[in-house]
Amino acid sequence: MIRTINAGLNWLILLTPRWLPVFVLIPVLYLIGWSKAQLLTLVGLPTSAVSLVGTVFSFLLFLLLMPRWIRLRWQIKRPWVALGLRGMEAHQRSSFAVLLRGLLWSVLLLALIMLPLLLGHWAQFQRTDSVRLLLDAFVLLFGVGLAEEILFRGWLWQELNRLLGAKAGVISQAAIFSLVHARFNMGVWPMLGLLSGLFLLGLVLALRRRLDHGSLWGCVGLHGGLISGWFLLEKNALLLSADAPAWLIGPGGSNPNPMGGLVAISALTLLLWLQRTAFNKSLFPKTDHRNAP
């Protein structure tokens, strides 16, 4: 039985053409995770929780598969280094320090959004102590932030580098990242604003990993910090006015995404411009793209 499962996994990983496994992996894992979650409804799992539980199962299967995937497809013996969860000896740094730096960048970006809201009297501070909200923010930081960075900047970017090359790889991962998070039930201009902001964020996160010498923890801090920080601001610390402009808080109505606002888009563009030398190196690295993150 185990031999059959291993053979099936190897077949999936080594499917040809070479791009095919990249496109079928996530749907296959999600289908397996969803089917497992459906079975749990027989023992009391609410149907409203099937999607979330199925996603968790799928991600756990993804993590279990990654060592085999990386060794077979990438020919790399240290999978967690390749994904950026462990440092390379030549650039050993404290993961906590790299994570903290990413968090500080997220605080700075959120402060740039919050300041004009306060100065324009579109928001005011409120104090509502809630342990539940803090726990939810922690889950968003180390759950959603970590999971998405492993998926997009850990796995997908490397696959696209190998399939398309360094330049197309970094641009493609940012484009896919923005499309996956887009909301297509809004108007054209709000949707384009959100797509643009998320695309720029995908580029900034890829650059963050380059600057951190392959470590993924700075990306986790920046991405997870933006998600959890905005969650706390919107749900707990700030009382937003009904007429707060979308160019500040982003599109989405009652559930805005600040990455689609003019302030976030301008800040991310400026950050890429200030670090344009490093950004150009990320597009055209000296090392072979088959072995670079």
Q: Is the pLDDT of residue 288 over 50?
A: no
Q: Where are the domains of the chain?
A: 1-75, 88-283
92: confidence class by pLDDT, cuts 50, 70, 90: low
Of the candidates 177, 173, 168, 200, the one whose C-alpha atom is nearest the C-alpha of residue 283 is 168
Which residue's entry shows tokens 């995404």?
257
Q: Is the pLDDT of residue 147 over 70?
A: yes
Instruction: Please answer whether residues 157 and 169 qualify as being in contact, where contact means their C-beta atoms are separated by less than 8 angstroms.
Output: yes
| pLDDT tens figures, 124-144 | 887 766 788 888 999 999 999
Burial of 194 per CB tally in 10 Å (0-12, 13-18, 19+): buried
240: confidence class by pLDDT, cuts 50, 70, 90: confident
Least confident of 164-168, 182-186, 214-218: 182-186
The span from the first CA to the last CA of the chain, in angstroms, equals 35
The percent of residues in the chain predicted with pLDDT above 70, rounded, is 91
Nearby residues of 287 by Cβ (< 8 Å), 6 or more positions away: none
Q: Is the pLDDT of residue 291 over 80?
A: no
Q: Is the pLDDT of residue 293 over 90?
A: no
Please provide the average confidence, as pLDDT, over all residues in the chain: 88
CA distance to 68, 195, 213, per residue, from 205 (Å) = 26, 15, 13
